[in-house]
């Protein structure tokens, strides 16, 4: 539920405390382009919020950091070529050379 005096585009039928249908600040917020609307970039619980438009450097930096947090580990895993194990066996071929010698073992009972 909205606080008295707060504005929202969804409660345009609610009268404001001044008696008008919408405050001037609410009309301005509803008519602002999406790119220039204010967004919360950082907030501390019950203390303060830092607000900037979508066209600000803070918002672009937030988007870039979010994209980097997703794409850098994905790129690193595929670039290392060890993302999937291709073979679980180790094959070794011994080097064999014929020496022209015979070893004979004679055993008796």
pTM listed for this prediction: 0.35
| pLDDT for the residue numbered 1 | 45
H helices within the chain, ranges in order?
A: 24-30, 57-79
What region, left, alpha or beta, does residue 87 occupy, with left being phi > 0 and alpha being psi -120 to 50 degrees?
A: beta
DSSP strands (E only) in the chain:
38-44, 48-53
Q: What is the mean pLDDT of each run of 10 residues along the chain (109 residues)?
A: 48 49 55 79 76 88 95 88 73 87 87
pLDDT at 2: 46
Structure tokens at 37: 């609307």
């Amino acid at each position: 539920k909205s606080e008295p005096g707060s504005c929202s585009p969804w409660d345009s039928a609610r009268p404001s405390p001044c008696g008008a249908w919408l405050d001037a600040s609410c009309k301005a917020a509803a008519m602002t382009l999406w790119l220039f609307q204010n967004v919360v970039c950082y907030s501390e619980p019950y203390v303060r919020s830092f607000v900037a438009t979508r066209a600000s450097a803070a918002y672009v930096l937030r988007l870039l950091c979010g994209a980097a947090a997703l794409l850098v580990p994905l790129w690193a895993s595929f670039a290392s070529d060890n993302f999937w194990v291709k073979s679980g066996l180790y094959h070794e071929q011994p080097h064999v050379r014929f020496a022209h010698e015979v070893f004979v073992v004679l055993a008796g009972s």
